[in-house]
């Protein structure tokens, strides 16, 4: 594997003249069918995606490192197919990977200039792939490169402070792109790749997916391993796919989910995955009779904007027309909303569960291997001292207001006391379970944001409806496009369920997706 930090320049040989592919309509299934039939080769598709990157990445800045081995990887898939070898479920499918996920041959920079040698920092080269990257490779995916994030993935709104510069929203460049998986969403939205890997601690899958009119899966914590991914919280971090349609996201989740000894949390997911995969329940009738809880003050005591309310009411009519039964504010009177406490001085983000980040970073650095430039949290802190993330003004300076963080910072090699977080998680899960049982709910369905996307560069953050609640509880959510504001900004829904309910949520989102067909390809500008 070879990397390049000039994403607009791949080393390619001239390809023969071919009929242009419409990359905006490609799905995993259509790619696999075309590859099996011989109408398409993995090499041709990879070259087409590279041309798309060369045409548009200079503007949108989605991909920050190119995999210069991508064409040879595609040729290998083509050779193996011709030889009759058994191939993985994503064989020949172009994908991108979020920068904090370890990938051999590439530095893991987490968007920070201090963790990249070409911007005056230290390179962290992993000795092995993260499990999710290894699973993509084993499935035959063609990894085109790594995508942009803000410093240490600290915000769910943008990637403006990345060493690589801002990522633009491919739907509305003047609006924020969502974060921290801004680059992954932009790459998939701009049809540079069919699929992308994202990760969420506090909105980093659902926000960019909704912001750029895409499908995102924020899985149950423990379903997908996050070992080998630079952490913000070992207790909240989850890896999941971003895609242009629900079926593609489900097929990617099939590849990502499952146990690995590298991440003991994944033992909890054994027996929780559907025997026939995450597409097995997809149906045009999944919403018929489904009982769905609606957003209200019982969930979070924050109102929707008037236009969001109008779009949500329209979505409710669509859901009813597809057979769903809607339940108004099922959390009313449960005390659920009172559990939420934004972490000072942040006005809207509840960071509890992130107290362990020094310990989590220490364990991450240990995994990098014996030749890593930094091997301990103490070395990490020294290497980044001039712009410390935890010092006043640093991107994670708010962590000091969490009572159990300071002890973790002082003793980063000692497993931290997370008793307060555990009690909070238990309270969230208990109420969710009780509400689902009392109202016989199949899922919740909310507008993913309370108001439309803010303008970029103005210092405003995305106002979501589920960040914190589902991250602390660890329950899954699936975002799906649901229309547009008058400005043209995307409006999205999020289906939220109990632990391990991804297959059911995907079925509901799929039925809504095919029943409404709201998403349209963005009007890209080179």
Hey, which residues are catalytic here?
A: 98, 180, 204
- CA distance linking residue 393 with residue 386, whole number of Å: 12
Residues facing residue 97 across a β-bridge? 146, 197
3-state SS class at 30: helix
Closest Cα partner for 431 from 420, 412, 419, 444? 444
DSSP per-residue codes, 260-284: BTTBGGGGGGTTTS-TT-TTTT--T
Q: Please state, in angstroms and as integers, the Cα–Cα distance from residue 233 to each residue in 97, 177, 252, 423, following that order.
A: 19, 23, 23, 17
User: Is residue 99 within 8 Å of 153, Cβ to Cβ?
Assistant: no
Please report which residue ranges of 292-418 form alpha helices under DSSP H: 306-321, 357-367, 377-383, 405-410
Q: What are phi and psi of 465, to 5 degrees?
A: -115, -10
User: Is residue 472 within 8 Å of 342, Cβ to Cβ?
Assistant: no
DSSP per-residue codes, 99-142: TTB--TTS---TT-GGG-GGGTS-----SS--HHHHHHHHTT-E
Q: Is the dihedral of CA 242, 247, 251, 257 positive or negative?
A: positive
């Amino acid at each position: 594997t070879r990397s390049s930090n000039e994403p607009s320049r791949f080393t390619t040989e001239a390809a023969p003249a071919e009929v242009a592919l419409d990359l905006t309509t490609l799905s995993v299934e259509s790619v696999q069918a075309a590859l099996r039939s011989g109408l398409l080769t993995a090499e041709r598709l990879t070259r087409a995606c590279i041309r798309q990157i060369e045409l548009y990445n200079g503007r949108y800045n989605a991909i920050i490192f190119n995999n210069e081995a991508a064409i040879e990887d595609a040729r290998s898939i083509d050779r193996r197919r011709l030889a009759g070898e058994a191939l993985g479920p994503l064989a020949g499918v172009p994908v991108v990977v979020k920068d904090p996920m370890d990938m051999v041959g590439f530095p893991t920079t987490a968007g920070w200039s201090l963790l990249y040698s070409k911007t005056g920092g230290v390179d962290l080269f992993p000795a092995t792939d993260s499990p999710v990257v290894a699973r993509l490779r084993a499935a035959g995916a063609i990894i085109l490169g790594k995508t942009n994030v803000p410093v240490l993935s600290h915000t769910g709104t943008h990637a403006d402070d990345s060493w690589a510069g801002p990522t633009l929203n491919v739907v509305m460049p003047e609006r924020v792109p969502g974060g921290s998986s801004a680059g992954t969403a932009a790459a998939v939205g701009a049809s540079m790749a069919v699929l992308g890997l994202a990760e969420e601690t506090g909105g980093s899958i659902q926000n960019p997916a909704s912001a750029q009119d895409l499908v995102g899966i924020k899985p149950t914590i423990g379903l997908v391993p996050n070992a080998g991914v630079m952490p913000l919280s070992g207790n909240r971090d989850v890896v999941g796919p971003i895609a242009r349609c629900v079926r593609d996201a489900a097929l990617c989740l099939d590849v990502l989910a499952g146990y690995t000894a590298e991440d003991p949390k994944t033992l909890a997911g054994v027996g929780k995955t559907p025997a026939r995969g995450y597409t097995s329940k997809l149906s045009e009738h999944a919403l018929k009779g489904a009982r769905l809880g609606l957003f209200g003050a019982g969930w979070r005591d924050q109102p929707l904007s008037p236009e969001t309310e109008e779009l949500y009411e329209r979505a409710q009519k669509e859901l009813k027309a597809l057979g769903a039964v809607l339940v108004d504010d099922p959390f009313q009177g449960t005390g659920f909303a009172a559990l939420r406490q934004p972490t000072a001085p942040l006005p809207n983000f509840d960071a509890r569960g992130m107290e362990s980040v020094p310990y989590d970073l220490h364990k991450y650095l240990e995994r990098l291997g014996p030749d890593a430039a930094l091997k301990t949290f103490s070395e990490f802190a020294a290497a980044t001292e001039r712009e410390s993330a935890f010092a006043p003004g640093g991107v994670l300076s708010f962590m000091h207001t969490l009572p159990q963080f300071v002890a973790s910072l002082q003793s980063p090699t000692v497993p931290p006391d997370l008793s307060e977080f555990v009690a909070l998680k238990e309270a969230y899960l208990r109420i969710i379970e009780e509400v689902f049982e009392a109202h016989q709910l199949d899922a919740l369905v909310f507008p993913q944001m309370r108001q439309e996307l803010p303008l970029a560069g103005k210092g405003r953050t995305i106002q979501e409806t589920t960040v914190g609640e589902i991250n602390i509880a660890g329950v899954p959510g699936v975002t799906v496009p649901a229309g547009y504001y008058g400005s043209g900004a995307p409006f999205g829904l999020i289906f939220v369920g109990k632990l391990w309910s991804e297959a059911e949520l995907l079925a509901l989102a799929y039925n809504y997706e095919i029943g409404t067909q709201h998403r349209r390809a963005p009007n890209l500008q080179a």
